Every structure is written in C-alpha cells, then in structure tokens.
Homo-oligomer: A and B are copies of this chain.
Amino acid sequence: MKLTLNRSEFMQELQTVQRAISTKTTIPILTGVKITLTEQGLTLTGSNADISIETFLSADNEKAQMNIEQTGAIVLQARFFSEIVRRLPESTLTLEVLENNQVAITSGKANFTVNGLDADSYPHLPVVESQNAIEIPGHILNKIVSETVFAVSQHESRPILTGVHFVLEDQKLLAVATDSHRLSQRVIPLDSGDTTFNIVIPGKSLTELSRSLTDEEEAIQISIMDNQVLFQTKTMKFYSRLLEGTYPDTNRLIPSSFNTEIEFSVPELLQAIERASLLSHEGRNNIVRLAISEEAVVLYGNSPEIGKVEEDLNFASVTGDPLEISFNPDYMKAALRAFGDTSIVIRFISAIRPFTLEPTESKGNFIQLITPVRTN
C-alpha cells in the first residue's frame, strides 16, 4: 500500500472512526484503525464491543488530493497514528507499507516509521442486509436521540433500560427511554412503507452516533438485523449492537387524567430549578418542593448545613387543586433542557403519582414523566 493524500481530510475521517475505538479494549487489534486502500478510495474502520464505524474517502474527492500508488491494507494503533498525523508539518502526507507490516509516514522532512498489524487479522464487521432500510433526515434523527437518550438508565442492573426503545409501525417512529424514575417519549411520522421494527439501541451508541452525524441535511439509512442496526450515510457506516430482551410496556405508565395543571416558560422554570438545586444537591435527599395554590406557585430548596431558598415562580396559567409535591431537580433540569426554549404544561394527579410534562403546542408527540419523591 502506498498513498499520498490531504492531511486535514484524512484527519477528519480518522477522528470519525476513532469514536468507535477504545484504548481499554482487551482485544489488542481493536485499539487499531484498519486502513484499506482500493482503486476506488480509502476505507477506515474502527470498532469496539458495542459500535463499529466505517468511513469511505473516494479517490474522486478532489479535496482529498489522493495519489494512489499501490493498493493494500494495514492496521495502525489509532491513538498514536492520529497524534502523528495531527502534528505532521505539511498539508499532505504519504503512507507506505514496508516489510513486516512497518509503515512509513512522511510529510515534509518528518519521517515516521511505525509498527502496524496485519489487516487480515482484523475482525470482520457484521453483514447487514439493507433490503428493509428506512430513511430519515439527519437532523430529525439527532433530535429524537437528544430528546430521549438522557433518560436511559446508567445502571447495568436492568440492562434493557440502558437503551432507547424504538418502535416503527403505522408510519410512525416512536422512541422512548426510562430509568424507572423518569421517562421521555417522542413520536414522529415517518414514511416507512411496509417496514416495521421493535428494537432497543444502547444509549451510548446513540450518543456517539449523534456526534458522528455532522451533516444535518444528509439522509440516514437505517437497516436492522437480528442483533445489529446499521446507520448509513454516503460516506459512513455506523453499526451498533442491539440490546436483547423485552422492553417494558411503558404505555401503561403514562396517566391520562389529572387534578392540577400549570403552564410555564421553560427557560424561566429551568433557571429557578437550577437555583433551588444548588441547595438540594447538598442535602441528603436532593429534592426540591413545589407548592401550587390559587395565590402563588412557590419553589423551595434547602440543605440543613448551607441554608434554604424560596422563589415565587412566574407561570402562564394554573388550574385545578392546590398541591405540594417534591421531586429530584436533576430529573426536572434534564427534562426541561430536552424541551428547549418553549412553554410546557405540567399535569399532576397527586403528590405521590408521576406527573407529565408536554410542550403547550404538543399534540401528544412529545411527553415526559417524572416520579415524585414521597417526603412523609
């Protein structure tokens, strides 16, 4: 293999596949990036136990300034290799595989010779059939991920809850995540033909996927196999394993009748919650208390050691019964951030039943649920 190409274009590809490469893996070759050069272009592959990423830089891409002298393949230790490429002096670099899997990296007067590994010993990526692929715009996929993934469980005690549940049916894509204390569910219409699926994708994979999808406009093809999902753009394939098991029935968790409703501006409520949580974070329970009456809506936070805070909240409207309810402000902060700069309706049944949060303008396509904390 011998190739000269543009350094910054190459660097970008390297950074993308590096998202899938862990330095802590127990399989040494997976600390490497696989580099495969054909007459068509350059393929980079990175993989760990959960995700694999493959990028393709076409020989036709003018920005890449590729000069292919000899095709071939090699695996290079990813972290070092990208550090080296990043610090090379010129705008292009030359890679040449020498004897014994040694690789010469040259740029200007700088000559590196690094030890590679045989590309044949790199594991094969799963084969995903794309016959049942659906397509979704990148920014929609990113949005649905960011609106749900924060609510997955961080604990491995119930592994299925560490993923986001995606259900495609009736031309609708539903995504839901819950850690059993709070839940976030998003539904979007999707022109998906006859394709249906019901899968759970690890939250961490989705976070990495979002970071890799830099072109918001691009369409993403999603294909599913028994235990793998493939997200594909023109230049990138992103594989993730699926979580096995049955996701709990979350539909029955969402209540439908309420006794108190209140409408808030999200940014204003978020700031007040942030202030209250300064003190609650120091207490043993990390809870804040919301008191709703006809006269006022007041938020309370306190910590025996530091002090207390109380704040009269601004609200757009309030209806129903007076209520005092306590909850974890961190769940509320995460929920409010997912809504963004809008207004929401919070609906309560009682101080001990989960309450719902929905954008005021929502028609049931985005709903969140938070379980309160019993204080007596």
Of the stretches A169-177, A227-235, A242-250, A303-311, the one at the interface is A303-311
In the complex the two chains form, what is the Cα distance from A102 to B302 in whole Å?
A: 14
**Is residue A191 within 8 Å, beta carbon to beta carbon, of the partner chain?**
no
A271-B87, A275-B88 known; A115 vs B80 contact (CB < 8 Å)? no
| Complex contacts, A291 vs chain B, CB 8 Å | none
| Complex contacts, A286 vs chain B, CB 8 Å | none
Question: Which residues of A272-311 are within 8 A (CB) of B?
Answer: 272, 274-275, 278-279, 282, 305-311
Question: Which residues of A108-154 are within 8 A (CB) of B?
Answer: 109-115
Q: Are A307 and B114 in contact (CB under 8 A)?
A: yes
**Is residue A89 within 8 Å, beta carbon to beta carbon, of the partner chain?**
yes
Q: Could you tell me the dominant secondary structure of chain A's interface residues?
A: mixed
How many A residues face the partner with a CB closer than 8 A? 33
Q: Are B110 and A309 in contact (CB under 8 A)?
A: yes
Interface-central residue, A87, A102, A103, A312, by most chain B CB under 10 Å: A87
**Is residue A188 within 8 Å, beta carbon to beta carbon, of the partner chain?**
no
What distance in Å separates the Cβ of A78 from its nearest Cβ neighbour in chain B?
12
Q: Are B271 and A307 in contact (CB under 8 A)?
A: no
Q: Are B308 and A113 in contact (CB under 8 A)?
A: yes
Q: Are B305 and A271 in contact (CB under 8 A)?
A: no
**Is residue A83 within 8 Å, beta carbon to beta carbon, of the partner chain?**
yes
Name the residue of chain B whose CB is nearest to the CB of A108: B311
Chain A interface residues (CB < 8 Å from chain B): 77, 80, 83-84, 87-89, 102-103, 109-115, 271-272, 274-275, 278-279, 282, 305-314
Told that A89-B275, A111-B311, A112-B307 touch, could you supply 15 new A-B pairs with CB distance under 8 A? A83-B278, A84-B278, A84-B309, A89-B272, A103-B307, A109-B311, A109-B313, A110-B272, A110-B275, A110-B311, A111-B309, A111-B310, A112-B275, A113-B309, A114-B307
